[in-house]
Amino acid sequence: MSPHFEPISARYLHLELLGRPHRVYVEEAGQGIPLLCLHTAGSDTRQFRGLMNDQRITANFRVLAFDMPWHGKSSPPAGWQDAEYQLTSSDYMRMILEVSDALELDNPVAMGCSIGGRIVLHLAHEHPERFRALIGLESAAHTDAYYDLSWLHRPDVHGGMVCAGVISGLVAPAAPAVHRWETLWHYMQSGPGVFKGDLNFYMIDGDIRDRVDKIDIKRCPLFLLTGEYDYSCTSEGTLDVARRTGASATIMQGLGHFPMSENPEKFISYLLPVLDKIRVL
Amino acid sequence: MIDKIAGLVNADTKLVRRGRFVNTTFMIAIDDSYTLLRVEEGRVTKVAPGPFITPDYSFCLRASRDVWEKFWEPLPPLGYTDIFALVKQKLMRVEGDLHPFMTNLLYFKDVIAAPRQGAKR
């Protein structure tokens, strides 16, 4: 293999986020319509490496992704050592809007997976005017906890290994091994208690079942893509949101809960038709 | 299928390495049929079929025969590919002292799924 650089550029953005100074890691590639990508709980922007390296996408879209505070290469805010990290719906929404403003994105598309797929439903409900379109990956109105979350953050269990172990089965069986283990590696690198803190939003605070019917897709088109092997955000959960909102929904064959990371090529074959629709909106 | 686990695990040097710090006895319950599996340094050293009067083990994975048979298919049907998929659907219970299990999830998931032959996750 000859040495080469990927067409991804990265910078650290300093901004006031949720009223506090933050240092946030931002990656981007391509040009055109801003496509702001939101990673899953306990992971980071590397999940979107496949998209940012695909010219079919970057020819028409400026693909951006940021590591949420506490995640990836973004720092936690000063004083983090004395508090428990817990993501809430209002903080998560505000964070996305404030980052989008700081990056001066003009009428962006937001695409999120898992917790990101949930928050796009909140954005569709509360801030549809801010986005050209919203794409929910592995998006459902609610997910009940199906294991004791306290296992994810305690000193006698390796946090990285238990987080990867908990989510490993959400990767579809046919995912290429290199991408399966890369996806798990991101989880193994997550900071202590971060995945657990994100799940406070995913399994408790972010329940939007009582407001899904109020989402108006005429104000902001909503597209849903869910992997058939996802048992956390199930196909049924996604199709229920589609039925209640009129959003377009596709169940992706052979994919699981981390489509863009576990099998980028296969996922992109499902994403491109959606992006084609968004280009002509 | 359980009788295959020891041979498959012990022949898989990468899996044995992943479990090199595991020393415990756990139970697999298929309907009312119980089996104890002893693990020492990542190797399955003893497989003891029940019944037992006073079984001594750390954790137990309990499901119906129908569920286990689907779980052990080379490519299981949707919803049967992972222990947590079954737990979420209330098709499997994980009981007892979960510490050895949760601490070594990536090891135990492949040990339990070993009968699928070559299916690694």
Are the C-beta atoms of B100 and B24 separated by less than 8 Å?
yes
Which of A151, A169, A171 has its CB closest to that of B102? A151
Domain range annotation of chain B: 2-116
What is the average pLDDT across A64-83? 97
Cα A60 from Cα A46, distance rounded (Å): 21
Chain B CB contacts of A170 under 8 Å are 82
What is the average pLDDT across A93-110? 98
> Does B81 contact A229 at a Cβ distance shorter than 8 Å?
yes
Q: How far is CA A209 from CA A131, A137, A198, A245, in A?
A: 22, 17, 19, 12
B78 in A contact zone (CB under 8 Å): yes
Query: Token pair for residue B67?
Result: 């569920």
Domains (ranges, CATH) in chain A? 9-279 (3.40.50.1820)
B20 in A contact zone (CB under 8 Å): no
* Contacts with B71 (C-beta within 8 Å, 6 or more apart), sequence order: B63, B80, B81, B86, B113
Query: Token pair for residue A219?
Result: 């104000």
Q: How far is CA B88 from CA A96, A232, A250, B24, B28, in A?
A: 30, 8, 23, 25, 18
| Strand, coil or helix: B55 | coil
pLDDT higher than 60, residue B121? no
CATH classification for the domain delimited by B2-116, as one of 3.40.50.970, 3.40.50.1110, 3.30.1050.10, 3.30.360.10: 3.30.1050.10
pLDDT (tens digit, 9 = 90+) per residue, A204-263? 999 999 999 999 999 999 999 999 999 999 999 999 999 999 999 999 999 999 999 999
Strand order in the sheet with A9-17: A9-17, A20-29, A61-66, A33-38, A109-113, A133-137, A222-227, A248-252
Interfacial residues of A (vs B; Cβ cutoff 8 Å)? 144, 146-147, 151, 156-158, 161-162, 164-166, 168-171, 173, 177, 180, 184, 228-229, 231-232
ipTM: 0.95
Residue A161 Cα, gap to closest chain B Cα (Å): 7
> Does A229 contact B98 at a Cβ distance shorter than 8 Å?
no
Whole-number pLDDT of residue A1: 87
Residue A132 Cα, gap to closest chain B Cα (Å): 34
Interface contacts (A, B; CB < 8 Å): 62
Query: Token pair for residue A103?
Result: 């990056």
pLDDT (tens digit, 9 = 90+) per residue, A125-176? 999 999 999 999 999 999 999 999 999 999 999 999 999 999 999 999 999 9
Would you say the pTM of this structure is higher than 0.90? yes
> Does B81 contact A169 at a Cβ distance shorter than 8 Å?
yes
